[in-house]
Amino acid sequence: MNSATLAPPPPTITGQRDTPRTTAMVQSSRLAGTVAAYLGLGLALVMVGIPTYWVVIGALKTNREIYTVPSTWWPPNPAWSNFPAAWAAAPFPRMYLNSISVTLISTTLKLVNATFCAYAFAYLRVPGRNMIFLFILGALMIPEEVTVLPNYLTVASLGYVNSVTGLILPTIGSAFGTFFLRQHFLSLPREILEAARVDGAGHLQTLWHVVLPLSRPVLATLILLTAVARWNDFLWPLVVTSKDTMRTLPVGIYFLFTQEGTTEWGVVLAGTIIVIAPIIALFIVVQRHLVEGIAAGAVKG
């Protein structure tokens, strides 16, 4: 009998189990990835946390303590008086009202504008739609500083200098928001939209009852990014306003600096904390939706 016919067939790979060595290598690889991730998070925490902590303790120090070397990690006698001094150094109550009004109205109008534009670019068959969208993408490449002069000439010709309308009008367009929401709308399941149309829903009903509820995490992200940008805007409020009663908080911090080189840095840092406190509160409120958006993206893969 031929010996070749008696040879057993080679073992198949599908039936093999992981050897202890393979399992150990996989566990070591996962452990190395986890350690690298935590090291990266720790590095980011140090890079962000130390400057933030320095701002906080600097707001509780006098100029002499700030310039003392080596610096102390916590002032022995915290100068809490820096906060009322910063509040009184500029018309912060009025500037707070201006910043809140400008941020709320501008963010709302930007969100509405971007939502309708993104829905149209994603789901409506409009002649020249792709060409118009290319123009919007081109607007993303134009620095904001380039548009300051044309916007100012337009606002001045309309008589909106030193007004809330002048602060808001050039900021209601959102090329980034349109692009951001359009890309998300295109990723939504088409079956749900088709089911809504079969049930007789129009475009507004589909947008309100189907698209927007599925886009809450993305909308929360866009709201946070837009609100932070509008709250921190310095150049446009500085250009379009000349009255202290119409200026916003970022411009108000400028009032805390002196031209003679005797700036009270503790007061400046206290004013900085006063300005950024509402944005921190907004992030705390919105962060749950941000986490949901990240988790949803991870599940969709």
Q: What is the CATH number of the domain that holds 119?
A: 1.10.3720.10
- 37/175 same-domain check: no
- 61/139 same-domain check: no
Residues whose CB falls within 8 Å of the CB of residue 18, separated by 6 or more in sequence, listed in order: 26
Residues whose CB falls within 8 Å of the CB of residue 273, separated by 6 or more in sequence, listed in order: 55, 56, 59, 83
Average pLDDT rounded to a whole number, residues 56-74? 85
- 139/52 same-domain check: no
CA gap 164, 253 in Å, rounded: 19
Average pLDDT rounded to a whole number, residues 69-80? 84
Domain assignment of residue 231, given as a range? 90-255
Residue 290 lies in a domain: no
Least confident of 7-11, 263-267, 280-284: 7-11
pLDDT of residue 258: 59
Q: Is residue 3 very low, low, confident or very high in pLDDT (cuts 50, 70, 90)?
A: very low
Q: Which of 269, 275, 218 is nearest to 251 (CA)?
A: 275
Residue 61 lies in a domain: yes
Whether the per-residue pLDDT at 301 is higher than 50: the answer is no
- 52/178 same-domain check: no
Average pLDDT rounded to a whole number, residues 15-44? 77
Residue 281 lies in a domain: no
CA gap 104, 101 in Å, rounded: 5
Domain stop point among 50, 66, 82: 66
- 116/169 same-domain check: yes
3-state SS assignment for residue 24: helix
**Number of domains, the chain:** 2
Q: Is residue 160 very low, low, confident or very high in pLDDT (cuts 50, 70, 90)?
A: very high
Calculate Rg over the CA atoms of the chain: 28
Q: Is residue 261 very low, low, confident or very high in pLDDT (cuts 50, 70, 90)?
A: low
Residue 234 lies in a domain: yes
Q: Is residue 150 very low, low, confident or very high in pLDDT (cuts 50, 70, 90)?
A: very high
- 131/189 same-domain check: yes
Q: C-alpha 197: how far from its chain's center?
A: 34
CA gap 41, 136 in Å, rounded: 35
pLDDT of residue 255: 76
Q: Give the ranges where the chain is alpha helix by DSSP (H).
A: 20-58, 63-66, 82-89, 92-123, 129-140, 148-157, 164-168, 175-186, 190-198, 203-206, 212-214, 216-231, 235-240, 249-254, 265-300
Residue 107 lies in a domain: yes
3-state SS assignment for residue 277: helix
Half-sphere exposure of 164 (CA within 13 A, CB side): 12
Q: Specify the residue for token string 């805390």.
A: 256
Least confident of 22-31, 56-65, 109-118, 167-176: 22-31
